[in-house]
Structure formats: C-alpha cells, structure tokens
Amino acid sequence: MTDQIQQPVARLNEPAPAFDAPTTHGCKTLEDYRGKWLVLFSHPADFTPVCTTEFIAFAKKHDEFAALNTELLGLSIDSHYSHIAWMLNIKEKFGVEIRFPIIADLNMAVAQAYGMIQPGASDTAAVRATFLIDPEGVLRAMVYYPMNAGRSVDEIYRLLVAMQTADENACAMPENWTPGQPVIVPTPATPEAAMARAGEGFDTVDWYFTTRMLYRERAGPCGSPPHGWTRRSRK
C-alpha cells in the first residue's frame, strides 16, 4: 500500500492543489472558496476522542473564523454517512453543532495531493494536517500534528490573524504575535537605507531589528482586536 502513495504536490506560496470532492454539504471545489480564506484540515478518523475535541474547538470558533472572511473545511478518509452520523453524535453528546462541511475522501485523492497521508503514521488514515489557503487560492501555511496529539485551534486562528495583518500592513510578525503587539518593519535592503533607518521614527534596536505599532491600544482576549478599534501606522 505504501508504494501506491503519491508524492504530495502541495507547496507553500504556490497554488493549492485543486479538488472536487463530496462533502456533508454536497460537492465542494477549491474554486468555491475563491475570494475567501480557507482552513482545510484533516483528521485520522470519525468517532475518535482526540478528533472529537478538535472538531468541537473548530465549531466553537466558527463565527470568529467567519468574521475574518474564512471558511472551515474538514477531511478524513471516511464516508459522508460516517461524517453525518458523527456530526449528529457530537451535537447529541456534547451540545455542539458542526456547521462546516467535511470531505469524504474515500479514494484519498485530496489527502494524497496535500500530503495528509504520512506512511510513517498510517497508509490509510490522514494525519492532523492543517492548510491555510488565501483568497487567491495560494497555499500560505501548513501545520502538521501527530496522531496522538490534538492541534491547537487557537494557534491556527492566531496564525491566520497574523498572516492577514502582515499582508495588509506590509510587515512581519514576531514570535507568538497577537493584535496590539509591535510588528516587525521590513529590514532595509541597501546600506543607505540601513543608515537612514534610525531616523525614520520607528522603534529601532539596530538597523536590522525595527518594530512599530498597528493598534491604538492593547489587544483584547484571544488575540482579537476589541470592537471599534482601528489600525494605524506609526511613522
């Protein structure tokens, strides 16, 4: 079975692999998400405890992702009948409704294209892989977790906020950045620009390390800007 696994073609900063797949909300294609961010994530199997905790976490954060123009799309190598039964079970046992679609990837076509099948883990089950695809259909981030450790949905959300903010403000984000914290100003590309950096009005430690603020005040809980806050660039 291992010999039949195709080499994944998903690569960062390149168009995400196209798909046309059956889901719990009917057939879905990558093109259906054009103009929106997409969080595509795989799980090993329905009716398993770790996966259940992950789906509950995604479901509880569904509206926060939606507020960022972002759709959620799950996937496993199970039938859509299994997906539906599991969704109903989660609602019955945990009181949480799964409102996003789940791909039934029985032929493993999507899983193979995105590298969700890792032979060292399993030949027939997807690992915990998460892919962030931008509104142009470009794959912007990939995060993998092992079978026995659930992923952090809060971290995926934080990463999405960081990437969107970096795109909007032509900056980079430091370790564990959340809204309200300083961002990294791009490093000067010439000796002349490096010499001028100290006089540009930013918070400069050295010519290669400069930060600035984007928000008027500190961020609220969970890394989200409080209602009514606005971004600003300080120069």
pLDDT tens digits, residue range 208-223?
A: 999 999 864 334 433 3
| Neighbouring C-beta atoms of residue 25, cutoff 10 Å | 14
Q: pTM for this one?
A: 0.86
Angle ∠(121,159,201) on CA atoms, nearest 5: 145
Task: Check whether residue 108 and residue 213 sit in a common domain.
Answer: no
**Same domain for 183 and 85?**
no
pLDDT exceeds 60 at position 64: yes
* 93 assigned to some structural domain: yes
Is position 51 annotated as part of the catalytic site? yes
Range of the domain at 176: 170-223
CA angle 202, 214, 219 (to 5 degrees): 130
Pairing of strands 139-145, 183-184: unpaired
Residue 23, domain member (yes or no)? yes
Q: What is the number of H-type helices and E-type strands within the chain? A: 6, 10
Q: Which of 214, 210, 169 is nearest to 187 (CA)?
A: 210
Domain with 196 in it: what CATH number? 3.30.1020.10
Q: Which residue of the set 27, 51, 171, 222 is catalytic?
A: 51
Q: What pLDDT was estimated at residue 223?
A: 38
Asked whether residue 130 is assigned to any structural domain, the reply reads yes
